[in-house]
Chains A and B, each alone.
Chain A
Amino acid sequence: MFSALRCVVARDLLVVMRNKSDAANTLFFFAVVVSLFPLGIGPETALLRAIAPGVVWVAALLASMLALARMFAADFTDGTLEQMVLAPQPLGVLVAGKVFAHWLVSGFPLVLMAPLLGLQFGLEGDAVLMLVVSLLLGTPVLSLLGAVAAALTLGLRASGVLVPLIVLPLCVPVLIFGAGAVDAVASGLAAGPHLSLLAAYLLPSVVFGPWVASIAIRIALE
Chain B
Amino acid sequence: MNAPSARSTLRASGLQCVRGDRRVFDGVAFELSNGGLLWVSGPNGSGKTSLLRIVCGLLQPAAGGIEWNGRGIRDLGEEYNQHIAYVGHLNAVKEELKVGENLRFGARLAGVEATDEAIRATLQEFAIHGLEDLPCRFLSQGQKRRLALARMRLSGTRTVWVLDEPFAALDVAGVEAVKLVIEEHLGRGGLAVLTTHQEVAIAAPSVQRIELKK
Contact = CB atoms under 8 A, between A and B. Distances in A.
Nearest to B108: A7
A83 B57 CA distance: 12
Contact of B59 (A7, A87, A222): A222
B209 interface: no
A80 B93 CA distance: 7
B92 A4 contact: no
B60 A222 contact: yes
A15 B97 contact: yes
A42 interface: no
B58 A11 contact: no
Contacts of B97: 11, 14-15, 18
A82 interface: yes
Given A83-B86, A86-B56, A89-B78, A14 B109 contact: no
Interface string A198-222: 0000000000000000000000011
Q: Which bracket fits the contact residues of A? A: 20 to 34
A141 B18 CA distance: 37
Contacts of A44: none
B82 interface: yes
Interface in A126-167: none
B132 to A, nearest CB: 15
Contact of A86 (B86, B89, B93, B94): B86
B109 A83 contact: yes
Interface in A29-82: 74, 77-80, 82
A86 B78 CA distance: 8
B92 A83 contact: yes
B91 A4 contact: no
A168 interface: no
Nearest to A222: B59
A82 B86 contact: yes
B28 interface: no
B88 interface: yes
B96 A15 contact: yes
Contacts of A10: 105
B94 A87 contact: no
Contacts of B96: 14-15, 18-19
Contacts of A86: 56-58, 81, 84, 86
A187 interface: no
Contact of B89 (A19, A79, A90): A79
A217 B78 CA distance: 15
A49 B79 CA distance: 56
B59 A80 contact: no
Contacts of A222: 58-60
B95 interface: yes
B109 A87 contact: yes
Given A4-B111, A222-B59, A78 B95 contact: yes
Q: Indicate the member of A80, A85, A88 with the most B CB atoms within 10 Å.
A: A88
A82 B90 contact: yes
B125 interface: no
Given A79-B88, A82-B86, 7 more contacts: A3-B113, A8-B109, A80-B94, A83-B109, A84-B109, A86-B58, A221-B59
Interface of B: 56-60, 78-79, 81-82, 84, 86, 88-97, 101, 105-106, 108-111, 113, 135
Interface of A: 3-4, 7-8, 10-11, 14-15, 18-19, 74, 77-80, 82-90, 94, 221-222
11 contacts: A8-B109, A10-B105, A18-B97, A78-B91, A78-B92, A78-B93, A78-B95, A80-B92, A86-B58, A87-B78, A88-B81
- Which 6 pairs of residues, A with B, have the shortest CB-CB distance? A79-B90, A79-B92, A18-B96, A7-B108, A88-B82, A11-B105
